[in-house]
Amino acid sequence: MYLTRDEERVLDGEAGPGPQLAMQILVKLGDILGAEKLIPIASAHVSGISYKTAGDAAIEFLKELSEMGAKAAVMATMNPCGFDERLRDLLRLPTEIVEAQRELLSLYETIGLRRTLTCVPYYELRPRSSSHLAWAESSAVVYANSVVGACTNREGAPSALAAAIIGKTPDYGLHRPENREPGLRVKADFEPKDELELWALGFLIGALSKGTIPLLEGIRGLSDWELKGLGAAMASGGMVAMFYIQEPSLKRRSKSTRDLEVVEIGRADVVDVVERLSASDDPDLVFVGCPHCSIEELERLAVLLRGRKVRTDRPFLVCTSRYLRDAHPSLVEAIEASGALVVVDTCMVVSWIERLGISVVATNSPKAAYYLPGLSGLEVRLANLEECVELACSR
């Protein structure tokens, strides 16, 4: 990979051992993936923030890195961690876990990352269309590429962190316009009846895409929160980092797609996905907000929960970002009047909810349904937003 004279100096250690290590990571990655050069990025979004998934190895690595003087050179944000104050109390987390999580967060802060602790950083700090980013967190990557029109590969935690420190990323993959063309047409021959069917469709598209960028046809008029969940589902069903949807507002390409392979998906296929991912038992806990709830979802929840009471034996957790929670106190108040809890900074997939001694959770997120059994040993019942509210409230 070609390096400028300044980049060579960083690689030679002239800027200190921290930047040198970050540059070594980027150069190694760029060489393996065939990048010709590094390009500047507008921001980095780093995953591996929860102590539950990152563990002691991350603490040791970050300690070393911060002692080496590594500092973020561009705006860098953090994915969710393992708990907020409320979840800490609800889960009765032991002091060792609480302390370890705090240490991890403060190390990231020392390196210069902002304590955003959300998988929807784009609601607080929206990237510009066409800007280059180095984002980890697959759901945020697919949103950035497909909805915002920015350019990012699906980074891992170390490469996103290295890119944050250098302020650059190797120029390959989705940073190159020639790699942003669709490779598969997906025709949905039905109108999803709710967000769950839409997101299950996304999960199936993810599994079918096999490294290509899908172009979804036949679905129109999706709102932002539906697109957010659609991308997250595609990214968990497969390695999708970008999609197109045949809709004027999202069209960003002009080349013909006539010769592409076409896959047709019907409602029965999607119902099958929901059944495969979903348990039928009654849930012990209900949660929504994977990815973190947008304002639109908070508004819908406030309406759905008006005059309702959440069961005392079945907690209802609404996950969102601290930024959105603090910006919309009346919505939070309306939701919590029902007994639901709005939690921030964390998500159920990277927290320790199994400590509640529960076995089944209900949610509307196929991504959570895919990951929770492996990460927490819990069964998941999939239900749409309205059904989640019903499950949380009715006896």
Give residues in contact with ligand F3S (CB under 6 A). Answer: 79-80, 119, 139, 232, 290-292, 319, 347, 349-350, 367-368
The least distance separating ligand F3S from the CB of residue 119, rounded to whole angstroms, comes to: 3
**How many angstroms separate the CA atoms of 340 and 342, rounded?**
7
Nearest by Cα to 304 from 331, 282, 284: 331
Q: Which residues contact 297 (CB under 8 A, 6 or more apart)?
A: 225, 288, 289, 320, 385
Instruction: Tally the C-alpha atoms within 13 A of residue 152's C-alpha that lie toward its C-beta.
Output: 34
Task: Give Cα separations from 103 to 52, 78, 108, 109 (angstroms).
Answer: 13, 14, 9, 10
In the bound state with ligand F3S, the residue whose beta carbon lies nearer, of 167 and 291, is 291
Work out the angle at residue 100's Cα, subtended by the Cα atoms of residues 94 and 101, and round it to the nearest 5 degrees.
Answer: 95
In the bound state with ligand F3S, the residue whose beta carbon lies nearer, of 38 and 288, is 288
Q: Which helix (H) or strand (E) holds 313?
A: none
In the bound state with ligand F3S, the residue whose beta carbon lies nearer, of 80 and 206, is 80
**How many angstroms separate the CA atoms of 47 and 156, rounded?**
7
The least distance separating ligand F3S from the CB of residue 289, rounded to whole angstroms, comes to: 6
8 Å CB contact between 141 and 160: no
In the bound state with ligand F3S, the residue whose beta carbon lies nearer, of 20 and 365, is 365
In the bound state with ligand F3S, the residue whose beta carbon lies nearer, of 232 and 362, is 232
**How many angstroms separate the CA atoms of 330 and 42, rounded?**
33
In the bound state with ligand F3S, the residue whose beta carbon lies nearer, of 82 and 192, is 82
The least distance separating ligand F3S from the CB of residue 229, rounded to whole angstroms, comes to: 9
In the bound state with ligand F3S, the residue whose beta carbon lies nearer, of 227 and 368, is 368
In the bound state with ligand F3S, the residue whose beta carbon lies nearer, of 11 and 117, is 117
Q: Which residues contact 19 (CB under 8 A, 6 or more apart)?
A: 10, 69, 70, 165, 166
User: Coil, strand or helix: which one is 71?
Assistant: coil
In the bound state with ligand F3S, the residue whose beta carbon lies nearer, of 27 and 240, is 240
The least distance separating ligand F3S from the CB of residue 350, rounded to whole angstroms, comes to: 6
**How many angstroms separate the CA atoms of 214 and 12, rounded?**
41
The least distance separating ligand F3S from the CB of residue 203, rounded to whole angstroms, comes to: 13
- N-terminal to C-terminal alpha carbon distance within the chain: 63
Nearest by Cα to 242 from 189, 179, 187, 171: 179
How many Cβ atoms are within 10 Å of 366's Cβ, its own excluded?
31
**How many angstroms separate the CA atoms of 370 and 388, rounded?**
17
The least distance separating ligand F3S from the CB of residue 10, rounded to whole angstroms, comes to: 31
